[in-house]
Amino acid sequence: MGESYVRTRLWRNGVLEKEDFPFDDISDYIGQDDCLLWVGLCAPDTHRLNLLAGELSLAPQAIEDAMGHHERPKASKYETHTYLSAYALELIRDSGDLRSEQVSAFVLPHALVTVHNDTWFDIEAILRRWDENADLTKLGAKALAYGLLDVLVDGHFDVIQALDDELEALEDDLFDVNPSMADKRQLQRRTFALRKSLVQARRVILPMREVLNTITRRDTVLPEALRPYFEDLYDHVLRAAEWTESLRDMISSVFETNLSLQDARLNTIMKQLTSWAAIIAIPTAVTGFYGQNVPYPGFGQHWGFYSSAGIMVSLVVVLYVTFKRKGWL
């Protein structure tokens, strides 16, 4: 959990008037119809959040969800507000691990309250998105909610792209001709780490379809000017979900190809061992034959030794050439 802080912003008639004013001044602007308020809470203490909940009439169930750490992404409509829950994602490329941060939002008629727990989440990216789309702030708190969700979905795309790049790198490493044992273990660790990260990403990306569907299809008070923006964002969420499906197929293919290549390498090794065993068996057979305790052609003669040596060398060369041509050696 990160360091606790509170960020605030105030728009009046769509124009940014002030920001980072004291938390205690929030009540001065809540009831003004020409004001749009944003309150950003990072790692809030229960007392402060309960004070804000009492002043804004936030549902206790929504407060409980916002204070949780493993809630499913969702959108819930309450009498006085809409509660949104989504996740910011970041892939750590060195390890392949994925870290996620729940970001909750309370969308009121003239205010947006966001809650998250870790400081690694870049709240400044949200502020920049609002500044880039300053005209939308005239449409109220749902315009701020759109900017928030848009940044989170863009982050999902960044993570998926990073996973895609890592999987392509894995595919290149799969076909290394003579990988060392350390390389094999590293490949397996990377594959399992990426598979775990992909599973975690899918858990928070797929439910976003329901979140956007709830807002665009069931929110009857959504301003018509904002509806195209949310519908476009819904299309982005669908693309992200479809991309995760293709990545799941890709990583399954990596697993299967890795197993097939291991089997192929094992077969090659077995062929080589069998071939060398057959080559070594020739001298053993010949020397064993000439080692009998009965007379044989050439017994006690020099030419007998030379004939046995010639037989061994000739047969060994024949077997070596034969196995080499077959690709067993």
pLDDT digits (tens, 9 = 90+) for 159-216: 999 998 888 887 777 766 566 666 777 777 888 888 888 989 999 999 999 999 888 8
Give the residue, 281 or 263, on which the prediction is more confident.
Answer: 281
Average pLDDT of the chain to the nearest whole number: 83
Predicted local distance difference test score (pLDDT) of residue 86: 94
**Helices 141-174 + 123-132 axis angle, to 10:** 120
Predicted local distance difference test score (pLDDT) of residue 299: 63
Give the residue, 101 or 269, on which the prediction is more confident.
Answer: 101
Place of tokens 């598979």: 195
Predicted local distance difference test score (pLDDT) of residue 293: 58
* Nearest alpha carbon to residue 261 among 184, 163, 195: 184
Contacts of 179 by beta carbon, 8 Å cutoff, 6+ apart: 173, 187
Share of the chain above pLDDT 90, in %: 29
- pLDDT of residue 218 exceeding 70, the answer is no
- pLDDT of residue 83 exceeding 80, the answer is yes
pLDDT digits (tens, 9 = 90+) for 7-48: 999 999 889 999 988 888 888 888 788 899 999 998 888 788
- pLDDT of residue 61 exceeding 80, the answer is yes
- pLDDT of residue 152 exceeding 90, the answer is yes
Which part of the chain is CATH 3.30.460.20? 5-262
Give the residue, 268 or 22, on which the prediction is more confident.
Answer: 22
Give the architecture (CATH level 2) of 5-262. 2-Layer Sandwich (3.30)
Give the residue, 295 or 113, on which the prediction is more confident.
Answer: 113
Give the residue, 143 or 95, on which the prediction is more confident.
Answer: 143
* Nearest alpha carbon to residue 149 among 229, 69, 76: 229
Distance CA 101, CA 69 (A): 8
